Amino acid sequence: MAPPENEAGVVVAEEAVSAAGVGATAVEAAADQAGSIKASGPLSTVVILIAMQTEALPLVSKFQLSEDADPPFPKGVPWVRYYGIYEGLHINIIWFGKDSVLGVDNVGTVSASLVTYASILAFKPDLIINAGTAGGFKVKSRIIIELEEQAEARKPESASTLSVFSLGKQATCYAKGASIADVYLVSDVAFHDRRIPIPVFDQYGVGARKAFSTPNLSRELNLKVGKLSTGDSLDMSPHDEAAIMTNNAVVKDMEGAAVAYVADLFTVPAIFLKAVTDVVDGDKPTAEEFLENLVAVTAALDQAVSKVLGFLPGKCLSDL
């Protein structure tokens, strides 16, 4: 892998978030700024959004990226930009930074939404990649098992799916057997902790969306594919578990669906790479297993993102 050349300069965008930019007019203006998504022609600019420093730094080192001393973000925000050029592809890794009071990584949907918004305005990317760690599901959800014991469930249509009825709705749970250090290319995203039990608002709360389809990328790199469910808690309440089951998720994280929501607003293609640090339905406490595996699993994530970046140069969106 040839080392990237440092980018000569950056066109500084106007501050992405301001008190005047809250209304619909500002959103429309932002959409105009970010609307130059290429329907054809090779990809030029990629933004990689990463919540945790531990996840970001190996990629910064591998691609010899430079830290931007004056990133085109509003003054005072903690977000950190690393940039460079790899085989003609402008790479921007945006790490969410650390909380100014507690000194921990700014994980979660609030930071994810803000950083995605600001990055789209500043860099007008052709593609967004949200890379990070996630919890994975090894076997059928406990909720499914309980439902099976209470009512007749339909037989699996294949070895990897199971149909059940939950809250009067049919759902399919993918029991693909996620293991530690597995990396998933996400096919769909949804939220599992935005419960609004009012017609139509309930669908808004779930916020189900498709990730940008990349069949050639998936096939070429032999990546596992699965659905992602997003929430702002590391643990999983019974309500969360029921929603995750309904979302058919194989992995759960704290940022993906928020990134997808903002990217969708501005019609920027977004893909998601999630590496499994903890088995949600396993025997170990989630927090303990997450911390135990974080560094090792980050290496698997680093390898997967590197392969994706190696695949992208010279490709059009339609080639993915």
Catalytic residue check, 281: no
Catalytic residue check, 220: no
Q: For residues 59 and 306, what is the distance between their CA atoms, to the nearest angstrom?
A: 8
CA distances from 268 to 37, 54, 309 (A): 7, 26, 18
Q: What are the helix and strand counts (H, E) for the chain?
A: 9, 12
Selecting among 182, 240, 241, 278, the annotated active-site residue is 278
- Per DSSP, helices labelled H in 167-285 are 201-206, 215-221, 238-246, 256-265
Selecting among 55, 105, 253, 302, the annotated active-site residue is 55
pLDDT value at residue 318: 96
Whether the pLDDT of residue 162 is over 50: the answer is no
180-208 confidence digits (pLDDT tens): 889 999 999 999 999 999 999 999 999 99
Whether the pLDDT of residue 120 is over 90: the answer is yes
Domains and CATH numbers, the chain: 42-319 (3.40.50.1580)
Residues 182 and 224 sit within 8 Å (Cβ to Cβ): yes
Terminal Cα-to-Cα distance of the chain (whole angstroms): 21
Mean pLDDT of 103-118: 98
Whether the pLDDT of residue 35 is over 70: the answer is no
4-29 confidence digits (pLDDT tens): 544 444 443 444 444 444 444 545 55
Q: How confident is the model at residue 259 (pLDDT cuts 50, 70, 90)?
A: very high
Q: For residues 257 and 249, what is the distance between their CA atoms, to the nearest angstrom?
A: 12
pLDDT value at residue 165: 32
Least confident of 27-36, 98-107, 218-227: 27-36
Helix (H) or strand (E) holding 320: none
Q: For residues 177 and 179, what is the distance between their CA atoms, to the nearest angstrom?
A: 6
